[in-house]
Structures are given as structure tokens and as C-alpha cells.
Amino acid sequence: MQGILFPRGVVEEREGLQEYRARGGYTALEKALKGLAPETVIQEITESGLQGRGGAGFPAGKKWAFTRECAEQPHYVVLNGGEDEPGSKKDRLLMENLPHLVMEGVILASYAVGASTAYLYVNSQYNKAKDSMAQALAEAQEAGLVGKKILGSDFNLDILFVAAPPNYVAGEDSAALEVIEQKQPLPRQKPPFPATAGLFGKPTAVNNVETLANVPAIIASGAKWYRSFGTPESPGTMIFSLNDEVNRPGIYELPFGSTLRFLIEERGGGVKGGKSIKAIMPGGPSSAFLPPDKIDIPLDHNSVRAAGSSIGCGVVHIVTEGSCIVEEILRIADFFAAESCGQCPACRMETNTLAVMLKKVQQGQGGQPLLEQFSKVISFNKGKGFCNLINMPGPPIESALRLFRPDFEFHLANGRCPQS
Ligand SMILES: Cc1cc2nc3c(=O)[nH]c(=O)nc-3n(C[C@H](O)[C@H](O)[C@H](O)COP(=O)(O)O)c2cc1C
């Protein structure tokens, strides 16, 4: 199965400028600067159906058009390499090993939205990724691909680095803008959205690393070609991450619409120790659990949504038979409670309350009335924070209560896991 980002399989080593150019790198930039108006670049991205890979799946072309069309100047682009989602390493790998692919995506995005400054916002713990991108930037500057009059055109672009604090909320787009403005990583109230009022109040396209890495291929080969991968509603490919629960952990680029079974069994080599699957979280810690009979669903936004969950940024977590779901969601609830930045009272209260309630269930306290409280706390707080973190603990907890009630009942009756 051919990939778009990894045409010959996941790259294990860093690709330098020469190698990237030898396989057609920077021809998309040349094509754009020599013959495509910025609006045409945006139109191509819109027609390709490229959706953000940072979690929300927002159409990239639409976001760029919002920024481009703002009269307010200057415009900015931010590459979001904050990546702090548990189990996600895809953005790190792209920046480490395919830095010029990412760089070309950043330059094309800047050309399209009319930005003359772009920021590379990279997780401060990703030293190798930062070094790789810094080297790529120096190489690109040397080759006239970044800087003044790029490739002889009238397009100028400066690219700057900013270290992203290693915490979850710092990857939220408006929190990233605060950090670039040298403030604390605290999300802003929206609207206005960054696309129209972002960095220093100016129109700013913030995009995930994987999103921008898709751009050069789309501009080089066209939207129609891109749409030959994936499904009509989720075109292209997506990088999925499998962790230690499978025989071959790693990241896998698959066309949208490939099944969960294909990812887990064919790519991941099946579940370690041949254990059977109790539940699957298809999109990281904020996605609802799916029961094992959903293993044949296609991995695309609509199908996963129809099955009751979400695809997020592609971290697929498998819970094996014999594991306790109460312990699983307690870990998740503790994570969100710890990662809530605390500025929105509702989020601070909700995330902590859910974690405390789950701890009580784990210890056999509270009885049935406590189980009934979860959905009340979750629905009462929905949407009441500046960012989406407030909505994140809900889906795993509510799906666990729906699908694995006996685990909760056992804890309430015995104060321990069924297996211990
Ligand atoms: C708590 C939280 C953390 C986030 N962390 C990241 C992150 O590390 N990287 C990322 O690209 N998007 C992250 N996002 C999503 C961004 O806010 C934003 O939607 C994304 O950068 C937009 O890029 P895209 O449209 O290319 O996906 C996070 C969102 C939330 C609510």
C-alpha cells in the first residue's frame, strides 16, 4: 500500500536537502511561486479535502482562506509541533526524518495565506527534531528557499523557532500563540479564532505538522490525485500510532478507510501474547471506547463517528481482555486533571471532580448514585472552557459506563479489580 508522506515506508533516517530534491522535493514550491496565485494554492488544498491532523479535523483550505482574506496585516503561519498527546510520536518523527517535507509545507502555507513570518513551534523536549529542523532551515536559506525573493520571486519569508513547553495544553493553538508572544501557555477564549485574530491579534494559520507535510504532494500532483487515496469524505492518508499493546509498535501511514483490523493485525502484527481485545480507543485518551466487534470499521472520520467514537490524531490504544476499565479511565481522568491549565473554573472543577469520583469507585465507595453523577458532571460542563480540554474526559468515561458496567459494579461491591 503506497503512502503519501512515506512513499517507500516509514523513513528511519534523516533525509537531507539533496535527497529530498532528488525525489522531487521543493518542486511544488517552485510550481507555486512560478505559476500559481496564492488563491489557486488555497483552492487546490480546499479541493483536496485535506483535514487537520492535530485532532479536530478542520479543513485546511477553509482555514487558510479565512486567514488570506483578512484585510488586517501582517499574516502569520505557525507549525504546531507541540505534540504532547500520550502515545503520539508522528510529528516528532516527521520533523526528525523528513524536515524538508515539513519545511516545504510551511513555506507553501505561508505563500498561500500571505505570511512573511512563520514560526516553528516545537516541543522543547524534542531536541533531535529541533536540530533537524534547524539544519533544514539553514540548508533551505542557503538554497534560496527561505529568505528574500524566494526562488527569484517576490515572495519573502522569515522562519523562527519557538520552544513549546512540554505540557498538553501548550499544544492547543491559541495557547501556542500565547507562548510565541512570550506569555504563559493558556488557551484564549474563542471566538475570535486564530485564523482571523491570532498572533499579536493578527490573522494566523496554525497547522499541525502532519497537516502541513501533506501540502507539497497535493500542490505537486493535484487535488484529484490526492483524492485517489482515502474516502470521499476523508481523502488522503493518516498516520496511526500503535503502542506496546501490539507485536510491532510503531507509526503507520494508511489511506483513510483502512480498517482497524488491518492496522492492528496486518501492520501491528496483532495483539501481544495473542490476547483478545476488550476495547479499542481509536483516537487517543479523549476518544470513546469501541467494543471489539467494531474492529472491522473503516478508519475515517465519518465511520468512526458513526461507530460512536473519534479518530483524534490517530493514537490507537488497545485494552486487552483481563484489564480493568475502571483502572483505565482512572488513569485517563488523572491525566486530564493534571493537564488542565486551571484558568477556567469549570474545567478545573470538572476534571478534578471526575478523577476524585473515579478514585471512589475504584475503592468501592459511593454505590450506584455515584455512577449516575458522571453524566451530570460531564454534560453540565460541556463547552464551558476556553479550549476543548473540558470536553475530553467525557467520552472515555461515558462509553466505559455504557459498555463495561460490570467492571464498575465489581469495584463498587469489592473495592478492587475483578482480576486482582
Ligand atoms: C488540550 C489540547 C491540546 C492540543 N495539542 C495539540 C498538539 O500538540 N498539536 C497539534 O497540532 N494540535 C493540538 N491541538 C489542536 C490545536 O488546538 C489545533 O486544532 C491544531 O493545531 C490545528 O491544526 P490542524 O488544523 O492542522 O489540525 C490541541 C488541542 C487541545 C484542546
The three cell numbers locating residue 282: 481509536
Q: What is residue 205's predicted lDDT score, i.e. its pLDDT? A: 98
- Closest of 112, 81, 111 to residue 96, by C-alpha: 81
- Same domain, yes or no: 302 and 332: no
Q: Please state the pTM of the whole predicted model.
A: 0.97
Q: Which residues of the chain have pLDDT under 50?
A: none
DSSP states along 292-315: GGGTTSB-SHHHHHHTT---TTSE
Q: What is residue 1's predicted lDDT score, i.e. its pLDDT? A: 56
- Same domain, yes or no: 270 and 376: no
Q: Residue 377: inside a domain, yes or no?
A: yes
- Same domain, yes or no: 50 and 89: yes
Q: What is residue 231's predicted lDDT score, i.e. its pLDDT? A: 97
Q: What is residue 10's predicted lDDT score, i.e. its pLDDT? A: 83
Q: From the alpha carbon of 51, which atom of ligand 1 is closest?
A: 25
- Same domain, yes or no: 163 and 199: yes
Last residue within a domain, chosen from 320, 337, 370: 320
DSSP letter assigned to residue 324: -
Q: Residue 191: inside a domain, yes or no?
A: yes
Q: From the alpha carbon of 83, which atom of ligand 1 is closest?
A: 8
- Same domain, yes or no: 184 and 85: yes
Q: How crowded is the C-beta side of 150, counted as CA atoms within 13 Å? A: 24
- Same domain, yes or no: 258 and 144: no
What whole-number distance in Å separates Cα of residue 243 and Cα of residue 199?
Answer: 35
What whole-number distance in Å separates Cα of residue 189 and Cα of residue 180?
Answer: 17
Instruction: Give 256: exposed, middle or buried? Use CB within 10 Å, 0-12, 13-18, 19+.
Output: buried
What whole-number distance in Å separates Cα of residue 131 and Cα of residue 97?
Answer: 11
- Same domain, yes or no: 315 and 329: no
Asked if omega into 203 is within 30° of 0 (cis), the reply is no
DSSP states along 2-55: --SS-BTB---S---HHHHHHTTTTHHHHHHHHH--HHHHHHHHHHHT-B-SSS
Q: Residue 6: inside a domain, yes or no?
A: no
| Any atom of ligand 1 within 6 Å of the Cβ of 168 | yes
Q: Residue 97: inside a domain, yes or no?
A: yes
- Nearest alpha carbon, ligand 1 atom 7: 171
Last residue within a domain, chosen from 320, 353, 375: 320
Q: Residue 76: inside a domain, yes or no?
A: yes
What whole-number distance in Å separates Cα of residue 174 and Cα of residue 188?
Answer: 6
Q: Residue 262: inside a domain, yes or no?
A: yes
Q: What is residue 8's predicted lDDT score, i.e. its pLDDT? A: 81
Say which residue the cell 539544519 belongs to: 135
Q: Residue 208: inside a domain, yes or no?
A: yes
- Nearest alpha carbon, ligand 1 atom 23: 207
Q: Residue 10: inside a domain, yes or no?
A: no
CA 398 to chain centre: 22
| Any atom of ligand 1 within 6 Å of the Cβ of 83 | yes
- Same domain, yes or no: 205 and 256: no
128 Cα to the center of ligand 1, angstroms: 21
Q: What is residue 269's predicted lDDT score, i.e. its pLDDT? A: 97
Pair type for strands 237-242 and 250-255: antiparallel
Q: Choose one of 206, 208, 332 to mutate for the ligand 1 pocket test, by most ligand atoms within 8 angstroms of C-beta.
A: 208
- Same domain, yes or no: 135 and 78: yes
Alpha-carbon Rg for the chain in angstroms: 22
Number of compact structural domains in the chain:
3
Last residue within a domain, chosen from 291, 320, 349: 320
- Same domain, yes or no: 246 and 355: no
- Same domain, yes or no: 308 and 358: no
CATH number at residue 96: 3.40.50.11540
CATH number at residue 336: 1.20.1440.230
- Same domain, yes or no: 305 and 371: no
Q: Tell me the residue range of the domain where 147 lies.
A: 17-226
CATH number at residue 296: 3.10.20.600
